[in-house]
Amino acid sequence: MSGEQRVVVVTGASRGIGKAVVQAYAREGALITLVATREQSLHQVCAEFGLSQERVLCVAADVSQVADCQNAVQQTLARWGRVDVLVNNAGIYHAAPFLQHSPQDFQRLLDVNLFGVMHFMQACLPSMQSRRSGAIINIASTAGKWGSRNQSAYNTSKHAVVGLTRCVALEASAHQVTVNAICPGFVQTDMVDELKNQAAQAAGASVDEFVKAMLARVPLGRLMQPAEIAAMAVYLGSADARGITGQSLHIDGGMVL
Ligand code: NAP
């Protein structure tokens, strides 16, 4: 991973945290595969950051579909010959009281938030392991570390990502590949706007009341910014972080202490 440009795959690259990860790795000079469900939105991100076609590959994929994930990684390997860093960031949110969650709600949250991570790791690991080099960063959540009201499917999916990260880190360590999770708290993105509305409704509160209670749970008293999560993703993908594996690191303003 030293010297040459790193090859980085970022899922959920069209908005929010994933878009900030693209921007941060672009500043590092990386070659980047951007993944989201709509290719056009990825080209817009590249245009916004002034990224030339030589440095990027935009691949439409639904991360819940194994063939889409394999295709995105195969295209990256065909173009640049390797994947140095995988950032599994794509995710969805849903809020409802547990008794109103359907099996389909649980299935969809797990399909995207858990199986998407699994599919991309299984697609990237063989070549990383044979090169004895690579870093995987899974964007989990503080929701993967504690219980929350009215988001049992989301929290279950994120607990599973934290557990999967630990297990895969153990197996990949034999091949010098690191696997870590980042657990953000509340980050200013479309998802947190959706969360405010859905979670307030599920709790029977106004959005203002919910936001006040939400921020009261954050010792630093503010939302995190996507760039703060992206900076950690760049660090975990760097040579300086080669000794860190199996961890789930919080960037949450002190929510989980
Ligand atoms: P966001 O603004 O809603 O963006 C979600 C991204 O995921 C978009 O790029 C979306 O792309 C992509 N995506 C969703 N479903 C997909 C699918 N089936 N296949 C491919 N791409 C898909 O969310 P965010 O806040 O940046 O969240 C990013 C990650 O951080 C998620 O895993 C989330 O759970 C986690 N997280 C967020 C927060 C927070 O407060 N925001 C806190 C903790 C953890 P398209 O819709 O364009 O396909």
Question: What does the pLDDT look like over 18-34, one tens digit per residue?
Answer: 999 999 999 999 999 99
CB 180 within 8 A of CB 248: yes
Mutational pocket test of ligand 1: of 159, 189, 194, 249, the residue with most ligand atoms within 8 Å of the beta carbon: 189
pLDDT per residue as tens digits for the range 54-71: 999 999 999 999 999 999
pTM of the predicted model as reported, rounded to 2 decimal places: 0.98
88, 116 contact by CB (below 8 A): yes
**pLDDT confidence of residue 79:** 98
How far is the centre of ligand 1, averaged over its atoms, from the C-alpha of 3 (Å)? 31
Share of the chain above pLDDT 70, in %: 99
Ligand 1 neighbourhood includes 182 CB (under 6 angstroms) = no
Annotation says 154 is catalytic:
yes
pLDDT reported for residue 28: 97
Asked whether the predicted pLDDT for residue 2 surpasses 70, the reply is no
Give, using CA atoms, the residue closest to atom 41 of ligand 1.
187
Ligand 1 contacts CB of residue 186 (under 6 A): yes
Mean pLDDT, residues 192-221:
94
Q: Is 230 in the pocket of ligand 1 (CB under 6 A)?
A: no
Tell me the percentage of the chain whose pLDDT exceeds 90.
Answer: 98
Alpha carbon 165 to chain centroid distance? 12
Inform me whether the pLDDT recorded for 3 exceeds 80: no
H-type helices in the chain, by residue range?
16-27, 39-48, 66-80, 103-109, 116-131, 152-173, 190-203, 207-216, 226-236
Q: At what angle do helices 152-173 and 116-131 cross, to 10 degrees?
A: 10
> Which residues lie below 8 Å from residue 227, measured CB to CB, with a gap of 6+?
20, 23, 24
- Average pLDDT over the chain, rounded to whole? 97
What Rg value do the Cα atoms of the chain yield, rounded? 18
253 touches ligand 1 (CB under 6 Å): no
**Cα–ligand 1 centroid distance for 30 (angstroms):** 22
Under 8 Å between Cβ of 223 and 212: no
pLDDT of residue 4: 80
191 alpha carbon – ligand 1 mean position (Å): 7
Average pLDDT for 203-228: 95
